[in-house]
Copies of this chain bind each other. A is one copy, B any other.
Amino acid sequence: MSTHFPQLSARLPALFERLQGHQVAVIGHSRPDGDCIGSQVALCRVLRARGIDALCVNPDPVPRRLQFLVGDTPFVRFDQLDAAGRLAVYVDCADLRRAGESVKARFPAPAGNIDHHLSNNGYGEHNYIDTAAAATGEILAGMFLDAGLEIDALTAQNLFVGIATDTGQFRFPATTGRCFEIAAELVRRGADPAVAGNELYEQETFGKLQLLQRFLASFKTECDGLVCVGLIPEGTYAETGTTPEDTEGMVDYARSIEGVQIGVLIEMRDGAIKASLRSTSPVYRMDRVAGRFNGGGHACAAGLNVKGTTLEAFRAELVAAIAAEIASVKNASA
C-alpha cells in the first residue's frame, strides 16, 4: 500500500500525544460545507476511538443536507459549549477568523491545525497543511490510512464527503489520482457514494427547482457574451416557497455557458439587493467589482449588498462596473 502523506503522517503521533488526557474541541469554520463538517466529525471520531474526550464545535449549525454525517458524534454550537480547559484543533480553517470572532477569542492558540488552504500560515502548535490536497478530508483520510488506524463506516463516509464536495464531485483542478485512491479505500471501509450523493444532491425541494426555472428564464448575456446575468426579483422566494439558502450554486449556471467568463446572480428581497459574482478565471477580479459597491470576496467569487435602488437600475450599474473590469483586463494584456 502506498503512503499518501508521508511527511504529515510521520508527525501525526505527536498530535495524539499532545491531546491525550485532555478534553478537545474539534473546530470548523463558519457557514460550514461538506469538507468542514466531514473533517470535524471524522477527526473527532478517531480521537474518541483513542480514548480522547473530543467533541465538534462550530459557530453555525450543521446544514440540513449535512446532518446525515453527524450520527452519534457529539456536535455542539459554540454558544452552547462549556469551553473551559479544552484544547482546540482547527480543521479546514484557512485562518482563525474563519471560525468566527468569538471562537477565535476563546481558542487563539490551538494545539492542532489541519488544512489544505493556500493562505493557511500554520497558526497551530502542530500543523498539518498540504495545499496540494483537494480537501482537508483527503489529508485526514490519508494520514489515518498511512497510520493504519481503524476507520469506522461513518468516519469513512465523512472523509469521503469531504473529498467529494471539495472536488465538485471529482472534477475540480485539484482532483488527483490520490483523491481516487483514497476514495477507493474509504468505500472499502464503508463510505457509500450513493447514500452521500442522495443526501447531497437528490433532496431538492420542488420550490427550489421552480426558483431555478425562474432564474434561468431571466438570463441575459452582456458585454459581447462574456457576462451572463440572472435575476431573482422581489417576491420570488414567497411565490416559490423558498428561502435565500436555496440559491446555493445557482450562479454557477450563469457562469457555465460557453463563452461566458462572468456569471452574476442579483436578488432583491425586502427592498435590499444582494449580488453574487463568479468568474471562470482569476484574471477577472470579482473582488474588485464587488469592492465598488462595498462588497468583497475572492478573485473568482465575490458578493455585495446594496439598498435604495431598483433591480433594473442596479443591474445596469453592475454591468457597467463589470464592463470596466473587463476593459481594464483587456488594456493590461494589450
CB atoms of A216 and B219 under 8 A apart: no
B219 contacts A209, CB within 8 Å?
yes
State whether the Cβ of A183 lies closer than 8 Å to any Cβ in chain B. yes
Render A248-274 as a binary contact track against B, CB cut-off 8 A, 1 for contact.
Answer: 000001011110000000000000000
B171/A180 in contact, CB under 8 A: no
Q: Is B181 a contact of A194 with CB atoms below 8 Å?
A: no
Is A320 part of the binding interface, using a Cβ–Cβ cutoff of 8 Å? no
Q: A181's closest neighbor in chain B, by CB?
A: B184
Cα(A164)–Cα(B164), bound, Å:
13
Residues of B within 8 A of A219 (CB): 206, 209-210
Closest to A202 in B: B256
A305 at the interface (CB under 8 A from B): no
Closest to A198 in B: B280
Docked complex Cα distance between A55 and B201 (Å):
38
Number of copies: 2
Quick one: CB contact mask for A206-219 with B, threshold 8 Å, 1 for yes?
Answer: 10011011001101
Of the residues B184, B194, B253, contact of A171 by C-beta under 8 Å: B194
Tell me which of B171, B173, B188, B202 contacts A169 (CB under 8 A). Answer: B171
Tell whether A236 is near chain B: CB-to-CB under 8 Å: no
Q: Which residues of B contact A209 (CB under 8 A)?
A: 216, 219, 253, 256-257
User: Does A7 have its Cβ within 8 Å of any Cβ on chain B?
Assistant: no
Q: Which chain B residues lie closer than 8 Å to A187 at the CB level?
A: 175-177, 180
Q: Does A197 contact B (CB under 8 A)?
A: yes
A251 to chain B, nearest CB (A): 13
A242 at the B interface (CB under 8 A): no
Interface pair B172/A194, CB less than 8 Å apart: yes
Q: A171-B200, A181-B184, A206-B221 are in contact. List 20 more A-B contacts (CB 8 A).
A: A169-B171, A171-B193, A171-B197, A171-B201, A173-B194, A175-B187, A175-B197, A176-B187, A177-B184, A180-B181, A180-B184, A198-B280, A203-B256, A203-B258, A205-B257, A206-B228, A209-B219, A210-B219, A213-B213, A216-B216
30 A-B contact pairs sorted by A residue (CB < 8 Å): A164-B170, A169-B169, A169-B171, A170-B193, A170-B197, A171-B194, A171-B198, A175-B187, A175-B194, A177-B184, A177-B185, A177-B188, A180-B180, A180-B187, A181-B181, A184-B184, A198-B280, A203-B256, A204-B256, A204-B258, A205-B257, A205-B258, A206-B219, A206-B257, A209-B216, A209-B219, A209-B256, A210-B216, A213-B216, A217-B217
